[in-house]
Structure formats: C-alpha cells, structure tokens
Structure 1
Amino acid sequence: MQDMQGLVALVTGAGNGIGRETARQLAARGATVGVNDLKPEFVDAAVDMIRAEGGDAFGVVANVSTREGVQGAVQAAAAHKGRFDILVNNAAWVRYQAVPDIQADTMDRMLDVGFKGVIWAIQAATEAMDPERGGAIVNVASTAAVRSTLNSVVYSGIKSGILGITRAAAAELGARHIRVNAVCPSAVPTEGTQRNRNADRDAKRIAATPMGRLGTVTDIAQAICYLASPQAEFVTAQALVVDGGVTFTNI
C-alpha cells in the first residue's frame, strides 16, 4: 500500500465521514496528509487518530467556502513539506428542500462550500503543484449527479456541476500533468448523513443494491485513493460511481 510515499495531500472536510477516512487511507499509503475542517476539535481528533496509526498528518483549520480560505488551506499544505501533490475536494454542506421550500441562504451556503469552493481549490492547487511533476485532484460528487432523489434540486444540481467541473479541469490541466477525476458515492452512513437516514429507507436501498449492502466510508476512500495514486497515472476526466451497482441496475 506504500505507493504514495513522499507525496503531500490535502483533504477538505476531513473532520469526519468520508473525508476523515480518505485522509486515513492516504496516510496509510505513505502520503503526508493535511486534514482540513472548519472545527478545530474535529481536525485535532482526526490528526491524532492518523498519527496513532503511524501516519503523517497535520491540521489545516480553514473555511473552504471562501476563496481566501481555500487558498490559505492549499498554501498551508504546500508549505508543510515544500510540495503539493494531491487535492481531495470532499467538503460539503447539505440540506434537502422541496422546490417550494428552497431558501436563498441555504442555497448560497451549499454553493459556496460544494461548488465555488471546489473551483477555488482547483485554482489554488494548480498554482501549488509542480508544473513538471503535476498532481492529482479528486472531487467528491454523488450518484445524485446521475440519478436524483426527491427534495434534491440544489444538491443534485451542485453534484452534476461537479462532474462538469471535473471534465473541464481535466481537459485544461492535462498539459500541466494534473489529473482530475471524481467519485460518485451512493448513500453512505456517516455522521453528516444521519439526519437523512432511517431504517426503512436503508432497507429499501439495500434491497435495490446488487451487492446487498450500503456502502461504507472505506469503500469510497479506497476509490479516491486509487484515483489519486500513481496507479491511475493515465486516468483523468472520469466519474467513478461507487454504489454497489444500484445506480445502473434495476433489481
């Protein structure tokens, strides 16, 4: 698993859930990982966990909903060891609202974190990555980008936009040896998704999934690590659906 030795990564929204597990998995593969979150206590807990397992991690407390916050986070990661190789755009702020109930402040915050923040992070990473060595960017989208659910107009729109951002950035940044890909997880139990889950809904999802279970944060993190790794050096502009087969089957 030590295929990322010497590489420096930043994972946004890594205080818990998919982001925290991704940071953990990157560190297990030898990368030095910047753990970003808005809450210092989440950052400290994640960094302590990774270090206790023998990994190399450092905290980056920053608000990635602003251009300045994103730039500061990337610059801090790049300054840690004098290089920057991997960006994982995982941070999101999500609320599900029916069309008549969509509120401007809710939509603005979702866009700031989950859409604008991704663009600002890609911009900052492009400047931080060595133009000859390049690097890898992985954006966390969702199966909602290709198969939407109720009350998800804003969320599905943002995640669909992430796929467009991914392809456009891959086309533009390939000349700089920067690969840009996305992962599309299905419903994964995390601290952040708990409010939108219940036993009946989970049972229906499991019944519709060929693999017969819900995904885990480890499933998603392993896919992200592959796309970020040298093993995927000729993979770019892709959207890897990690969902146990539920999106493209009907059982």
Structure 2
Amino acid sequence: MQQDLAGRVALVTGAGAGIGRATARLLAARGAIVAVNDLKEELVGATVDEIRASGGEAFPVVQNVASRDGIAQAVSMAATEGKRFDILVNNAAWVRYQSVPEIMPETMDRMLDIGFKAVIWGIQAAVEEMDAECGGVIVNVASTAALVSAPASVVYSGIKAGILGITRAAAAELGPRGIRVNAVCPSAVPTEGTQRNRNAERDARRVARTPMGRLGNVDDVASGIVFLASDEARFITAQALVVDGGITFTNL
C-alpha cells in the first residue's frame, strides 16, 4: 500500500471502534502517525495495539471530546506528541433515535455536544495547530441522514445536516489558509454502535434497495475518509462524499 501520508499526524476522534477505528488503521497503513482518541482507555489501547502490530505508528489520546476544552486538549495532545498536526477526522458521536414526543433535553444535549459542537470546537482547535504554510485537512463524518431521513431521527438528522453546513462554511473560510474541509455521508453500516438499531429483516430490505447489492462496512467508509485526507483530493473541498452503495440517490 502506498505511504503517501508518511510523517503526517492525524487525530481521529471516536477511534476506539467502528468507523473511527477503521479510519485510524487505514491512515496508519498509508504512513500517517495516528493519534487515537476515545473516552475509554481500553478501546483506545486496542486500536493503538492493532496499528502497531501491523507496523504502523499510533499513540493514545484518551479524552472526552464532548466539550470545547476536551476536544482542544485532544488536538493539543496530538500535536505535542506528533510534533506537528495535519489531519483531523471528526468522527465521534453519541446517537439515540427518538420520535418527536420522546425527545428529551438531556438526550439532545449530549448528541449536540459530541456530534455537533465538538465538530466546531475541533475545527477551531485544529486551525491553531496546523502549519500556516502547509495547511491541513479536516474530514467530518456526517451521514446519509443529512440528505434523506426516517422516523425517529429528528435530532440525528438535524445534527448531520448541520455538519454539512459547517463543512461548507469552514471550507470557504479556511481555504485561503490551505486547509481543506470535507465530509463523508455513510449509510448505515454494521458497527458496535449501530447494532441496537439493526435486525435481519431491516438489513435485507436495505440490501434489496442498494444497487451494489450489499450493506456497506466500516472499511468502505474509511476509504472515503482517507481519500479526502490524501493529496489525491488536493483540489477537493466543501464537498460531501456519499458512501452508500447508491441507495440514497436511486429508487430500486
């Protein structure tokens, strides 16, 4: 595999499992030095160990990113340990699906803190650490729920749609500083976090509606993220890359 990201330092939030872990693995395989962030030390350690066992470079950043100070500390730790800062992947999220009558303030507040506010605070912190001449890359993990929605997803869909707005506005503002900002919009993929909302019947319906004829997986999404983080995407910014096997924009 090409080592085109060799020497670059990347922070992936929520990298203890799922899409975050797959992204951390692939960034490391492409040569990046990966700061692995999550709230639980054992999850962070498992990802770091996996990367190192495969010959990659990674170090732990155990930090709660659900506040401005938390995500700023995570970025600072990554930049200090890595001695530079090049790539931020805003992946961390906490999700609960609730119908409109069921939405509670504490649930919405936690989803907003981790899945929306932390994206803004992360961008703010990253800008301070990225080299003024070399710039950097920010990739935000949104969702196809930002484009098409379903019942019981008012808060989740609103947050993910907001991430697309953040992405475009940040790209416009930060482009002159050499910082590219993009998003990925994955469809539902099997992860530890999505397991509670999946069942065989629902998966079968989704597969039947997907032109590629299967569910996506975390590596499919990680490939999209790492592409946007790489120099292959050097003239791509303000975009939302849909990684969904075609289900969103077709009508099977």
Query: What is the TM-score with the length of structure 1 in the denominator?
Result: 1.00
Give the counterpart letter for 1:230 in structure 2.
D
Question: What letter is aligned with 2:9?
Answer: V
Report the alpha carbon displacement of residue 155 of structure 1 after superposing the two structures with TM: 0.0
Letter in 1 for 2:114: V
1:150 paired with 2:151, answer yes
Inter-partner Cα distance in structure 1 for 2:227 and 2:122? 20
Pairing of 1:41-56 with structure 2 (within 5 A): 41-56=42-57
- Residue in 1 aligned with 2:217? 216
Partner of 2:66: 65
Q: Aligned residue for 2:141? A: 140
> How far does the alpha carbon of each residue in 1:75-115 deviate from its partner, in whole angstroms, 9 at most, with x for none?
00001131100000000000000000000000000000000
Deviation at 1:231, TM superposition (A): 1.1
Q: Distance in 1 between matches of 2:52 and 2:83?
A: 20
Letter in 1 for 2:246: G
The count of residues paired between Structure 1 and Structure 2 equals: 251
What one-letter code is carried by the residue in structure 2 that aligns with 1:149?
A: A
- Which residue pairs with 1:181 in the alignment? 182
| AA in 2 matched with 1:207 | A
Q: Counterpart of 2:238 in 1: which secondary structure?
A: coil
1:39 and 2:45 are equivalent in the alignment: no
Separation in 2 of the partners of 1:80 and 1:177?
23
In the alignment, the residues of structure 1 paired with residue 187 and residue 99 of structure 2 have an alpha-carbon distance, to the nearest angstrom, of: 20
AA partner of residue 87 (structure 1): L
3-state SS of the aligned residue for 1:241?
A: strand
* SS state at 2:16 partner: coil
What is the aligned partner in structure 1 of residue 7 from structure 2? 6
Residue number in structure 2 paired with 1:87: 88
**Do residues 234 (structure 1) and 235 (structure 2) align?**
yes
* Matching residue of 2:167: 166
Which residue of 1 is the match for residue 31 of structure 2?
Answer: 30
Question: Following superposition, which runs of at least 4 residues in structure 1 exceed 4 angstroms of deviation?
Answer: none
CA distance in 1, matches of 2:211, 2:202: 16
Q: Give 1:235 deviation, angstroms.
A: 0.4
In structure 1, the residue matched to 2:75 is 74
Q: 5+ residue gaps in structure 1?
A: none
Instruction: State how far apart, in whole Å, the 2-side matches of 1:35 and 1:78 are.
Output: 12
Q: Distance between the aligned counterparts of 1:220 and 1:228, measured in 2?
A: 13
**Partner of 1:112: helix, strand, or coil?**
helix
Residues 118-133 of structure 1 mapped to structure 2, 5 A cutoff: 118-133=119-134
Tell me how far apart the structure 2 counterparts of residues 190 and 36 of structure 1 sit (CA, whole Å): 17
Secondary structure of the corresponding residue to residue 59 of structure 2: strand
2-side partners of 1:89 and 1:55: how far apart?
21
Offset of residue 149 of structure 1: 1.0
Structure 1 distance, partners of 2:83, 2:40, is 25
What is the distance in 2 between the residues matched to 1:17 and 1:38?
14
Letter in 1 for 2:197: N
* CA distance in 2 between partners of 1:206 and 1:94 (Å): 23
1:101 aligns to what?
Answer: 102
Q: Kindly provide the amino acid, as one letter, of the partner of residue 147 in structure 2.
A: V
Q: Does 1:110 align with 2:99?
A: no
Provide the secondary structure at the position in 2 that maps to 1:87: strand
Cα distance in 2 for partners of 1:143, 1:156 equals 9
Quote the Cα distance in structure 2 between the aligned partners of 1:132 and 1:65. 30
- Describe the superposition over 1:110-129 as per-residue Cα deviations: whole angstroms up to 9, x where unpaired: 00000000000000000000
